[in-house]
Structure 1
Amino acid sequence: MEEKPIEAIEGEAVEKLEAAGGTLTGKLQWQGFLPTDLAELATVLLQICQGTAESNDFLKLVFKDVDPGEAAIMSCWEFVFYVAYRAGAIDREYLQTLFKLASQKAKTVYNKILTTTATPLAIRYGGFGSIPILQMKTHQKNALNYAFQGFCQVIEPELGVSTQQKWTEGEIPSGCVVFFNRWLDHTALSLGMKDGQQKILTLWPHPTVVEMNLDDLVTHIVSLRRPKPTIYFTNPPWL
């Protein structure tokens, strides 16, 4: 069955999204959502399970009600939510509810892994929390990995992942969310076609927000000796 083409959303909502994104050009700072240091990674994932994560400024907005402003540090996909927030398409209550649900899912998955697939050592000590970390490295890693997958399962529908379509040519309508392979690999916002080029607003690969040609970003990714990404796009559910 042939997919129904994604239709352009026009009107004030998209105009506000474009305007809000435009005010952030040259601002914000990119940081991957998860740290590369293993010790920091474990800490952040545990905080996600507890609903207390504040490893970047976007999470402080969600959990602490602190508006991060234009020098905020966040990831590429959080940037999409932040533009929507500044455009009035979503509010803090929406973000707080979404991330609390995601954290609850992560916690549920984490606890289930500990109780249903625990090693004899884990059972003996009554759970992960009381077991020496060196003896539980593998089990902790597995539990946190699945917990993060649970977190992502709640977040991704709100980016429109479930309705994404593969892009090969033509215009990606302004306001669409654009994914480079998976949304966790890279996420940006479409600005439609300008001067015959597909434009996106992105918080990466530059350290701040930039408007650039989609093809130029693909070229940059390939220059990093990575495979050419498959591009997907979708209308976000909050537009």
Structure 2
Amino acid sequence: MTQIKGDNSSTSRGDSRRIGLFFESARDLLGCLHHCKSGPLFLQGHPEYQGNDFIDCVVKAGPELGNSSFMNCYEYAFFAAWRKGLVDKKTLIEVHGEALESVMQGPPPPSGEAPAYNYYQSLTRYICPELSDPHQWRGGINEAPDIPAGWIVVLGNIWNHVGVSCGTRDSMGRQQVLGLSKYPDPGPSGRGMVQVSTLDELMERNPDHAQYVRWGIPGWC
């Protein structure tokens, strides 16, 4: 299994310098990028599954990525780490290759889950190998413990949404999260952008998030 954790990440709370670099990179992308679909069919090159710049660049040796590139929320986290040299392109290729293999050769996904479940479960092991236990969202102000800035936040059942904690709360006490999404602002293109939202807003917006949240140190920190 490919490892992407840095050499300086032996402490239980990760390497603070690397976490800081990752958060800085994720924050610098505010207002940038566009959201699009992704998954194993994009890696396999199906004609009807095109237009994901991250997959085209990392897996298919396409044009380099920029602030207007199209990708999904998982790939935003990978891209933010890559921009700061926290993970290299060779590792990203290996990680996504293993994720695709988990779909082609792995066990069937749990009952009721989409075929891409295994793919995103595999990616999650690299993005955040030590997730917290699920914290149930009961409605209203999120009662999860304060999540440090730069930590990964996973909403719902593995593959629903991934964001980066801001380590802050808004004026209503809601924990804030950086993420690539069409919500709450679809952006000038209508295709979303990197923006700050809150755990409560994301939970209310999408019932597929299964009403719980987990978090942890990024795998490259």
Structure 1-normalised TM-score? 0.66
Establish whether residue 151 from structure 1 lines up as the match of residue 148 from structure 2. Answer: no
**Aligned-partner Cα distance in 1 for 2:45–2:100:** 7
CA distance in 1, matches of 2:91, 2:50: 17
Contact preservation (8 Å) 2:156, 2:210: no
- Does structure 2 conserve the Cα–Cα contact (< 8 Å) formed by 1:51 and 1:104? no
1:10 to partner: Cα distance: 5.7
Partner residue, 1:69: 66
Secondary structure class of the residue paired with 2:134 = strand
Question: Following TM superposition, by how much is the alpha carbon of 1:200 offset from its aligned partner in structure 2, in angstroms?
Answer: 0.9
Paired residues, number = 187
Unaligned runs of 5+ in 2: 1-11, 109-113, 136-142, 186-191
Assess if the C-alpha contact under 8 Å between 1:9 and 1:173 holds in 2: no
Rounded Cα–Cα distance in structure 2 between residues aligned with 1:228 and 1:99 = 25
Q: Is the 8 A contact 2:152 2:217 kept in 1?
A: yes
Structure number with higher helix proportion: 1
RMSD of aligned residue pairs (Cα, Å): 3.2
Please, which of 17, 23, 36 is the counterpart of residue 18 of structure 1? 23
Higher relative contact order (CA 8 A, sep 6+): 2
Displacement of 1:185 in angstroms is 0.9
Deviation at 1:92, TM superposition (A): 0.7
- SS for the counterpart of 2:59 is helix
Describe the superposition over 1:117-174 as per-residue Cα deviations: whole angstroms up to 9, x where unpaired.
xxxxxxxxxxxxxxxxxxxxxxxxxxxx65x444344322112265332244221111
Q: Which ranges of structure 1 fall in alignment gaps of 5 or more residues?
A: 1-6, 35-43, 114-144
Query: Is the Cα contact below 8 Å between 1:8 and 1:173 reproduced in 2?
Result: no
Letter in 2 for 1:229: Q
From 53, 56, 62, the counterpart of 1:57: 53
Task: Report the equivalent of 2:178.
Answer: 201
Give the conservation status (yes or no) of the 8 Å contact 2:37–2:52: no
Q: 2: CA distance between counterparts of 1:149 and 1:219?
A: 22
* 1:106-121 matches, cutoff 5 A: 106-109=103-106
Task: Identify the residue that residue 4 of structure 2 maps to in structure 1.
Answer: none
Distance 1:29 1:166, change over 3 A: same
Question: Out of 35, 39, 43, which is 1:30 matched to?
Answer: 35
**Could you tell me how far 1:234 is from its partner in structure 2?**
1.6
Residue identity (%): 21
Give 1:163's match in structure 2, choosing from 120, 126, 131. Answer: 131
* Alignment-derived partner of residue 95 in structure 2: 98
Tell me the equivalent position of 1:48: 43
Distance across 1 between alignment mates of 2:150 and 2:16: 11
- Structure 1 letter corresponding to 2:134: K
Whole-Å separation in 2 of the counterparts to 1:99 and 1:49: 11
Counterpart position of 2:149: 174
**Higher CA-based Rg:** 1
CA distance in 2: counterparts of 1:187 and 1:54, whole angstroms: 22
Partner of residue 140, structure 2: none
